[in-house]
């Protein structure tokens, strides 16, 4: 028998979140975010969604009493927040709790891309240190590089602090200039790419950044260029990147995110100058548990204090009392 506080989990969600939600709400789970899996009785009762999957307008509209969508992760390009806002439904994400972890991962990926640590370890494990002698000196180094950050937000700033500590100059591109940083601002991405040899992309996904890192940007980055992408795969034109890596328009790329995860384009898999990670930016037990807690805490705060903790900007004005 369902009470008045029904929260629905469509698809997979972090088990720590599920356990806590069971203690707080009447929790219902379905296999995926498909409204044909929900009968009318349940649909009428759902007031909250806790999600780690794509939520489109049609799914939102399947729940007339829906008040809040608590999404796992800081990037929420998979949730139609614009439609939720129109319906008066608040969307929350999990900012801040993953910022330092993702910045750490980004530095690891950058170093690994230029200094080839994964390849060097494979060399050792294959017995080649004994058989063939020292691993070849790397053609690339971090020394002397100039770093541009596309998306100087929470994570971008944490990356920039680390890059500063490595002794490298930082500049950035956002739509808006950031007032309280010492880094040079470039009003366009192609200008940023032309000014640096190392471009770190940590901008959000979605229509506004779709394929923003295109052939022209890669050309501007140049033959010493290294592209690191930890933002969203959709932000990079992947075929253009594969071509630029193949013909050495740029030197190398390190990617944690892809346009069609978990599928990675064959063109990229074949390339020796691409370092590829399976979207592990925030993927430690510690940080994923903190993200799971923030999903649950947003729902608890909404239903007990009428206020979400971390609403996304599109739905920031929505409060429970005003409904």
Question: Counting contacts by CB under 6 A, is residue 254 touching ligand NDP?
Answer: no
Q: Provide the mask over 102-121, with x wherever binding to ligand NDP is found by CB under 6 A and - wherever it is not.
A: x-------------------
Number of residues that bind ligand NDP (CB under 6 A): 29
Contacts for 193 with CB less than 8 Å, ≥ 6 apart: 148, 199, 217, 218, 220, 221, 225
Among the listed residues 109, 105, 160, 115, the one whose alpha carbon sits nearest the alpha carbon of residue 138:
115
C-alpha dihedral (36, 38, 39, 41), degrees to nearest 10: -150
Min dist CB 30 to ligand NDP, Å, is 26
Q: Which of 154, 211, 243, 307 binds ligand NDP (CB under 6 A)?
A: 154
* Shortest-Cβ-distance residue relative to ligand NDP: 153
Min dist CB 153 to ligand NDP, Å, is 2
CA distances from 231 to 40, 178, 224, 258 (A): 38, 19, 22, 9
Placement of tokens 């409904």 in the chain: 323
Q: Which of 209, 249, 287, 301 binds ligand NDP (CB under 6 A)?
A: 209
DSSP code for 323: -
Q: Which of residues 155-174 bind ligand NDP (CB under 6 A)?
A: 155-156, 173-174
Q: In terms of CB distance, is 181 or 300 closer to ligand NDP?
A: 181
Q: In terms of CB distance, is 66 or 291 closer to ligand NDP?
A: 291
Min dist CB 268 to ligand NDP, Å, is 16
Q: Which of 256, 268, 288, 308 binds ligand NDP (CB under 6 A)?
A: 256
* Active-site amino acid positions: 232, 261, 279
Q: Extract long-range pairs of 269-277: CB within 8 Å, 24+ residues apart.
A: 271/242, 271/245, 271/246, 273/245, 274/245, 275/109, 275/112, 275/113, 275/118, 277/105, 277/109
Question: Counting contacts by CB under 6 A, is residue 236 touching ligand NDP?
Answer: no
Question: Counting contacts by CB under 6 A, is residue 282 touching ligand NDP?
Answer: yes
Q: Which of residues 134-153 bind ligand NDP (CB under 6 A)?
A: 151-153
Min dist CB 174 to ligand NDP, Å, is 3
Question: Counting contacts by CB under 6 A, is residue 75 touching ligand NDP?
Answer: yes
Which runs of E-coded beta strand occur in the chain? Answer: 6-10, 26-30, 46-51, 68-71, 90-92, 147-150, 170-173, 184-185, 198-201, 226-229, 252-255, 274-276
C-alpha span between 227 and 192 (Å, rounded): 12
Q: In terms of CB distance, is 7 or 149 closer to ligand NDP?
A: 149
Question: What residues line the site for ligand NDP (CB under 6 A)?
Answer: 74-75, 95, 98, 102, 151-156, 173-176, 202-205, 208-209, 230-232, 256-257, 279, 281-282
């Amino acid at each position: 028998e369902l009470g008045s506080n029904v929260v629905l989990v469509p698809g997979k969600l972090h088990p720590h979140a599920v356990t806590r939600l069971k203690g707080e709400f009447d929790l219902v789970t379905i296999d995926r975010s498909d409204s044909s899996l929900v009968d009318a009785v349940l649909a009428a009762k759902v007031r909250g969604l806790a999600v780690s999957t794509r939520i489109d307008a049609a799914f939102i509209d399947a729940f007339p009493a829906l008040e809040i969508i608590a999404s796992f992760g800081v990037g929420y390009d998979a949730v139609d927040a614009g439609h939720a806002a129109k319906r008066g439904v608040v969307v929350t994400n999990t900012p801040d709790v993953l910022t330092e972890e993702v910045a750490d991962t980004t530095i690891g990926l950058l170093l690994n891309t230029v200094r080839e640590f994964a390849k060097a370890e494979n060399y050792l494990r294959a017995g080649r240190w004994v058989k063939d002698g020292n691993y070849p000196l790397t053609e690339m180094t971090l020394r002397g590089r100039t770093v541009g950050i596309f998306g100087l937000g929470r994570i971008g700033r944490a990356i920039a602090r680390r890059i500063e500590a490595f002794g490298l100059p930082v500049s950035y591109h956002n739509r808006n200039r950031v007032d309280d940083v010492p880094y040079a601002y470039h009003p366009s991405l192609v200008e940023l790419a032309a000014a640096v040899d190392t471009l770190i992309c940590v901008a959000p996904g979605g229509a506004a950044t779709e394929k923003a890192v295109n052939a022209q940007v890669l050309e501007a980055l140049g033959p010493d260029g290294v592209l690191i992408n930890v933002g969203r795969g959709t932000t990079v034109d992947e075929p253009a990147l594969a071509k630029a890596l193949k013909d050495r328009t740029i030197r190398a790329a390190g990617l944690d995110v892809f346009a069609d995860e978990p599928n990675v384009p064959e063109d990229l898999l074949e390339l020796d100058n691409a370092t590829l990670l399976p979207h592990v930016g925030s993927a430690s037990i510690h940080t994923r548990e903190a993200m799971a807690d923030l999903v649950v805490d947003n729902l608890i705060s909404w239903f007990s204090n009428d206020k979400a903790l971390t609403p996304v900007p599109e739905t920031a004005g929505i409060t429970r009392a005003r409904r």
